[in-house]
Copies of this chain bind each other. A is one copy, B any other.
Amino acid sequence: MARFMDVHHGMKGITAEQLRAAHTADQAIEGEEGVHFQQTWADPESGTVYCLSEAPTKEAVQRVHARTGHPADEIHPVPLSA
């Protein structure tokens, strides 16, 4: 398992409820891809959403996001943390 930070752009005006719904949708199917979405943060003003996950590959992360209707614009492995 590796850790990933993915980024979504163009989400201007996203609400707390929409963020929670998207996160819940991802978590409902993440197990099928061996992914676990740990946390997500959003900036409604710039329309940026960040998701932190543990997953076997970045493709697995993208498959979950794509299936729930919000593919990520960037997915970076983040092997280091402090």
Contacts and interface: CB of A to CB of B under 8 A. Distances in A.
Interface string A10-50: 00001110011001100000000000000111111110101
Given A40-B81, A40-B82, 19 more contacts: A5-B43, A5-B50, A14-B80, A15-B80, A16-B80, A19-B82, A39-B82, A41-B52, A41-B78, A42-B80, A42-B81, A43-B76, A43-B77, A43-B78, A43-B80, A44-B80, A48-B76, A48-B78, A50-B78
B78 A3 contact: no
Among A3, A16, A79, A81, residue most surrounded by chain B Cβ atoms (within 10 Å): A81
Interface residues of A, number: 27
Given A50-B5, A50-B50, A43 B82 contact: no
